[in-house]
Amino acid sequence: MHCEDLIEISALVAIYRERLLPASKPLEREPLDAYWRAAKCRVDHWMDRIRDSRPSSDNRDRSAHGSDSWRRRCALSEVLAGDILVRVWGVLLCDVDRGDVGGPAASIARSVFHTHQEARRRTLRTIADRNGLTHAELQRLDRLRRKAERWSDILLAYTRAESYFAEFAVEPARAVRYARDIQAGLECDDRRWNRVQNGLRLTFDGELSHQPLRPDLNRRIAASVMECWPVLDAREFQLRPALLLHWSETLADRSQQFIQQILTHEV
């Protein structure tokens, strides 16, 4: 699963939060724990790539070193792009646990957020130090950073969970301003989704064209988020093909588990 798929998940859950996170459906602990584990493993993998792939002064195999440099650049890009889902899903999990200071959803959201911010700070230091990066690479990473930061605050505005903007937004005042503009627009969710989805695809087209370093962890993160949603017809949202397939598979797995529980109970 690509990073663009996770960005699209961020937009979907931000705009359709009432449908995807209804107050009548409490969150189960298992997908929350799965989200924490997958996010932690992904950050550890990124940090290893960023830390271990520094320029070498000896004459070791240049092809191997080039491969390390490529993985490092991919890790830097994925940290910046992955920040969007961490912020949006974090705000929504905290909002679900509103009134329960020590609630599991909020605790896990904050744990993942703070862990991701460590990787983000390391990424920004690497960019600032120009450590082994060409001028073109620095420009591309800085462009991606600015796009991810802006879209994070835009999508946070759609969550309408302003109580948590100060904690999770890149620029809280900007997120609040976006939220005011969105509320004044009086658009239905479907029109908002169509506009935001097209905007995201245009914005990030070509920015994350590499194969993800750990597509398996991206899939696990996506599944952990989707498992918190009620059963819906995924086709109505016109998702990216890979994301639509993954959502269908998640629903199928959930149905199979439910059937197994019924059969076990009857036996």
Determine contact, residues 225/89, Cβ cutoff 8 Å.
yes
CA 123/CA 68 separation, integer angstroms: 16
CA 13/CA 115 separation, integer angstroms: 22
- Which of 116, 105, 98, 111 lies closest to 227 in space, CA to CA? 105
Whole-model pTM?
0.86
* Cα dihedral 235→237→239→244 (10° resolution): -40
For residue 43, CA distances in Å to 23, 92, 116 come to: 31, 21, 6
- Which of 197, 203, 189 lies closest to 150 in space, CA to CA? 203
Which pLDDT belongs to residue 63?
45
- Phi, psi torsion values for 229, nearest 5 degrees: -90, 155
Q: What is the mean pLDDT of each run of 10 residues along the chain (267 residues)?
A: 93 94 85 97 95 52 60 95 98 85 86 97 94 90 97 97 96 97 88 94 88 93 91 73 72 62 60
Which pLDDT belongs to residue 59?
44
Q: Where are the domains of the chain?
A: 3-266
**Crossing angle for the helix pair 3-15 and 62-96, to the nearest 10 degrees:** 10
Which pLDDT belongs to residue 264?
67
